[in-house]
Amino acid sequence: MAEFLNVEKAVKDTSFDQDGRTILIDENQKFVVQGQFRSPQKLDEFCQSILPKTMEVGGVVILDDTAYLRFSPYAIYVVSDRMMLDDFAKEYQNNFTDLSHGKCMLIIRGNGVFDIFLDYSAADLMNYSGAGQSMVKTRFIDYEVVLWWAANDQIQLLIDRSYAQSFVDFLSSLIVRQNLN
Amino acid sequence: MQPNRITKDEYGQSIDRTKLLTFTFDGQKLTGFAGDTVASALLANNVHLIARSIKYHRPRGILSCGVEEPTALIECARPGHKAFPNHKATEVMLSEGLIVKSQNNWPSRNFDAIAALSFGSRLLQAGFYYKTFKWPLWGWPKLYEKVIRKFAGSGRIRFDESADPNESVAMDQRNKFCQILIIGGGPAGLNAALECALQGLRVVIIEQDSEFGGSLLWNKASIDRMSTDSWLANTLDALHQCSNLTMLPNTLAFGHYDHGMLLAYQSFGLDEPGVLWKIRAERILLASGAIERPLVFSNNDRPGIMLASAVRAYLHRYAVRPGHRAVLAITDEKQRQATELELADAGITIAATVNPGEQLIDSTGHRRIRSVAIKTKEGKIVHHSCDLVCVSGGWTPTVHLAAHVHGALELNPDSYTPYAPSQQGCMLAMGANRGIFELEAVLADSENQAKEAMSQIGISVKLGKSVEFQSIQESLEFRISNDRCGSAFVDLQNDVTCSDLIQAVSEGYSDIELLKRYTLTGMGTDQGKTSWVNAVNEIAAVSESPATQLRHTSFRPPYSPVLFAGLAGARTGKFMTPVRKTPLHRVLENLGCVFQHSGDWLYARHFPKQNETMEESVNREVNAVRTSVGFVDMSTLGKFEVKGPGAELFVSRLYCNDVSQMPLGKVRYGLMLREDGIIFDDGTVARLGDEHYLLTATTANADAVWRWITRLAQIQWPNLEVTLTDVSEQWATIAIAGPKSRALLSKFDLSVNTDRLNFPFGTIREGTLPGNQKCRIYAVSYSGEMCFEVNIPAGFGCSFVERLMDVGQEFGITPYGIEALDVLRIEKGHLAVGSEIDGRTTPYDLGLGKMVAKDKDFIGQTLLNRSGLKSEERLQLVGLTAINEKFEIPAGGVVVEQPLSEKSQQRLSGWLTAAVYSPTLKIWVALALLKNGQNRQDDKLWVTSPIAGQSTQVEVCHPCFFDTEGTRLHG
């Protein structure tokens, strides 16, 4: 039997071009692993071993093609173009789980996209907007998302696969309304 | 063209005279200017009779100039759109072509036939409905309600001929965060905003009016030897230059909640959807000012009787002269003098002024005020003709928002005026909200309170000396007339008169909350803004108890009406709730699936072929699974990985049955209890490694189980070395069930040996599919047939199913949905959450008592052993079959000992949890919870459904109807 498995995207790519403003919503198929630790200290030790530095909660470190997102004192996402599990020391293997198919990574690009997230996110994104990358786990309307961004015209986010298309549809409707306004 | 419009340029700062707008009122074409409200435009056109009152249909005009308006309620529509009632004429901004209609009259506002009710006003007093329409018993539903409905209510949603009846407007809902939130854009609010903004803080200031300035827009005084106009212009200029400040005009703060959260609705007129803001602030400064109180005297509701401040606002802001000959009845002397001067300047003749010691006691006129009667100090009654009466009984601080969270207000012992405490939680009150009315003192207080708020959030500022509380002495004698001969209204919106209050008190309604509900005082859109203090003073006078002992009623959001559409925001239509789609959604759609919403999920319900009914397609799907092979999407199940040295102990404590010492690759059914011994959820426990378990949970409880186990790991058992990961979304789950399922599975090039010996029932295998893609396959079954639940990474779900359909063709593979799965599990007597696992049943009730481990600790163990939970009298799971095979067992029926006749009453013996026609057994079967059911095998009972009008005789049997030995599971 020939190989038959093809990866299917969770959402359809979407773009808007209204009033001279272009906004693109693309799914970026990446490898996502979640690290879960019993104590913040253990997670600190892991960060030291890989980065090598500690990360605050809400911190983002980009190393080559890999983003490390510490979204809780106990947990971290590692988002990469390649499967990172084998790169981690054996002692951490039990802490990590592959969620590449469970989490959908979206990139939203265009002028004013940060303002949309500012208006509809339950977290105060301005509090996280410092120099460099910022991340926050929050709710966008009714959708739980992990956001990270370096500039105001590009937001990257992780969302559960099952909610992804519904989220994109809702976000699209809000973008259209903002354009109309 | 607009007879009451003043042409002098110094008047009309809020309007743009270069932009003429046309609108209609009850069909009459009128004009106004951009910046006008409907109220100012109507007054400019000399229209004073706006609506009829809610109960007596008395003529009503415009009382105020803002949110406090109790009487000028109108219906508004844009051409070609729906018309919405109950807009306050003082709040709706005029727009081109606006269609305005009066409310609550028939056939017209000038000749309202229903106004005849006012002749019977003595009969229609408080409690009239409760006392009158209670008999005969049939009278209310058949007669009274129908008649009263025709008269009751205030306005209706109407459709213009060209309006789309399905038109829906999606509003918006946004979040805003700030350090300081200021409610109210009057002098206190603006001063505080500037103070905070200059310190670099993130500040938001909201104002319900279209313009910032508050009383400075009409109260022409001076501040620091500067005119109020100049002070306002300078302050606004300075504020506009602050990039850290957000100014939200037309924004009504209507609800204050815990932890500094405030809800506010910003309106953009009728043309654009509004925005509901959820604002979270570290500190809130309440600068919402005060509302002027009307006077209570006989016939105090005639059009032309207006609040004095409103008259001044119409003059200065809109260049509108609301009358030509005025009588002034204003308690505060300074305000009286200022009003006299300003009215005279605007060309309005002052017919009379009510001086201290005198009383305004009555008025005449019909559709507009014609004259008033004043009782002099000497007791002489003097009549004055007029077309305008400016009244003011003092000022009531707007304290609703201060009371929403903490409730407690301070009360002026003389006038019962409520004041906001200096600080409650994170809200600090200032200016008029604290009873400080003098402008200079208001500004000093706002500066102090702003600095106090800033210091509380860690900003270093030098605090000023606090401003002393300056209560205005108000004369009760002057405010409420003692000589009442007609209807003296305390609540103009709800037509509550002094007589109503007197009667209510005499009937024993002494509690203020009861009085409010019995008389309707302070209800409706008014929410006591103009009525409450007057009403309480009247009650105090009648009951001869101090007003302060009466307390105040609970203030609740919303402070003023907010559109339901605003509360819904963008969550309308298909965006009402988020929708979850399984990884197989696309391919199932291609297979002709009918989907069903359950929670957020879209489930595959069934797969009808051409012209098939649901019943036919479900029966076909069930038969396919029983005779050949089918597949169902089970991706919605919860899946949780437990890893670490403490994993075995963690899992063992979690389930009531023994799941310890499972060999690798073994799967067991697991029953999870709550702490009280009741079943919480069921699922499977699979051992993937020495320190690695995979748990499943039902779809309905997936989130709850995840929350529960993370709570246990973090709080109850923090010393157990386990990590938990929710992998529900990672895996697509395809259950391949039926006698041919193993043969079908063997057609895939799996790295797993699928023969019966190597892959028996109750095991799990990890392996790879072609392309080296990981998969996990369970040999477990919910349908009662041999079944393999294939778990593959979600992104591959669709292509796997496409391949499955190709490969399965030779076996006649049939996709089936949740309906067929339900029939299969009922035939097999398997449990479902929400049906048998209903939050009340124990393992013993469901015949699973043997599963309960005796020699280990688990959650729910102690309380499960309560004698009451083991009583034979409890409801226990049984099966029921119809004695006459042709008769249906009615779903949702109850189990009784004898057939239920029309008049007989019987004790309930139990109820059905599920009932279906079994296409396998060709009879109706049901699962039921029956008292002492496990000892009632072969008993004959009745299932009856009074709703369906059906009774069917049934026989009690074991809940497993099909393959009781379980041989089919093993293939």
pLDDT digits over B726-778, tens only? 999 999 999 999 999 999 999 998 899 999 999 999 999 999 988 888 999 99
Q: Where are the alpha helices (DSSP H) in B729-868?
A: 741-746, 797-808, 818-828, 861-864
The upper half-sphere exposure of residue B188, i.e. CA atoms within 13 Å in the direction of its Cβ, equals 30
Q: CB atoms < 10 A from the CB of B422, how many?
A: 17
- Among B112-116, B579-583, B682-686, B839-843, whose mean pLDDT is lowest? B112-116
Q: Could you report the per-residue pLDDT of B355-375, keeping only the tens digit for each? A: 988 999 999 998 999 999 999
pLDDT beyond 70 at A179? no
What's the mean per-residue pLDDT of chain B?
Answer: 92
Q: Could you report the per-residue pLDDT of B298-357, keeping only the tens digit for each? A: 999 999 999 999 999 999 999 999 999 999 999 999 999 999 999 999 999 999 999 988
**DSSP labels for B406-436?**
S---EE-TTT--EE--SEETTEEE-GGGGT-
* List of residues 6+ apart from B340 with CB closer than 8 A: B328, B350, B353
- Band of pLDDT at residue A2, cut at 50, 70 and 90: very low
pLDDT beyond 80 at B212? yes
Mean pLDDT of B889-910: 84
pLDDT beyond 80 at B474? no
Chain B residues closer than 8 Å to A181 by CB: 272
Q: What proportions of chain B, in percent to the nearest 5, are helix, strand and coil?
A: 25, 30, 45
What is the reported pLDDT for B411?
84
**Of the candidates A93, A73, A77, A76, the residue with the CA atom closest to the CA atom of residue A85:** A93
Chain A residues closer than 8 Å to B641 by CB: 97
Distance CA B180, CA B451 (A): 11
Give phi and psi for B262, each to the nearest 5.
Answer: -135, 140
Chain A residues closer than 8 Å to B770 by CB: 1-5
B642 to chain A, closest Cα gap in Å: 10
Per the CB < 8 A criterion, the answer to whether B306 and B330 are in contact is no
What the block records as the tokens of A136 is: 């926050």
- Binary contact (B770, A10; C-beta < 8 A): no
Reading across the β-sheet that carries A103-110, which strands appear in turn? A14-18, A21-27, A103-110, A154-160, A143-151, A134-140
CA distance readout (Å), B813 to A5, B348, B629, B740: 20, 91, 5, 9
* List of residues 6+ apart from B447 with CB closer than 8 A: B191, B192, B195, B464
Taking the Cβ of residue A20 and every Cβ of chain B, the question of whether any pair is shorter than 8 Å is answered with no
Per the CB < 8 A criterion, the answer to whether B686 and B637 are in contact is no
With vertex at residue B272, the alpha carbon angle to CA B268 and CA B274, rounded to the nearest 5 degrees, is: 55
pLDDT beyond 70 at B471? no
A142 to chain B, closest Cα gap in Å: 7
- Binary contact (B799, A167; C-beta < 8 A): no
User: Between B328 and B155, where is the model more confident?
Assistant: B328
What is the reported pLDDT for A89?
81
pLDDT beyond 60 at B479? no
3-state class (DSSP) for residue B704: helix
Whole-structure pTM value: 0.91
Q: Could you report the per-residue pLDDT of B631-683, keeping only the tens digit for each? A: 999 999 999 999 999 999 999 999 999 988 899 999 999 999 999 999 999 99
What is the reported pLDDT for B472?
55
What is the reported pLDDT for A1?
46
Chain A residues closer than 8 Å to B748 by CB: 1
- Among A50-59, B301-310, B360-369, B932-941, whose mean pLDDT is lowest? A50-59
Please give the helix or strand (H or E) that residue B41 lies within, else none. Answer: helix B38-44
Q: What one-character DSSP code corresponds to residue B179?
A: E
- Binary contact (B722, A38; C-beta < 8 A): yes
Taking the Cβ of residue A127 and every Cβ of chain B, the question of whether any pair is shorter than 8 Å is answered with yes
Residue B304's identity, in one-letter code, is G
**Interface pTM (ipTM) of the complex?**
0.96
What is the reported pLDDT for A176?
83
Mean pLDDT of B716-728: 95
Distance CA B492, CA B129 (A): 20
Chain A residues closer than 8 Å to B794 by CB: 10, 101-102, 161
From the list B725, B795, B799, the residue facing A4 with the nearest CB is: B799
What is the reported pLDDT for B215?
95
pLDDT beyond 70 at B477? no
- Band of pLDDT at residue A21, cut at 50, 70 and 90: confident
Chain A residues closer than 8 Å to B692 by CB: 94
Distance CA B146, CA B155 (A): 17
- Binary contact (A174, B570; C-beta < 8 A): yes
- Binary contact (B583, A101; C-beta < 8 A): yes
Mean pLDDT of B815-841: 97
Per the CB < 8 A criterion, the answer to whether B946 and B876 are in contact is no
Mean pLDDT of B481-504: 84
Give phi and psi for B431, each to the nearest 5.
Answer: 60, -135
* List of residues 6+ apart from B905 with CB closer than 8 A: none
A53 to chain B, closest Cα gap in Å: 23
Pairing between β-strand A103-110 and β-strand A14-18 as defined by DSSP bridges: unpaired
What the block records as the tokens of B5 is: 């419009």
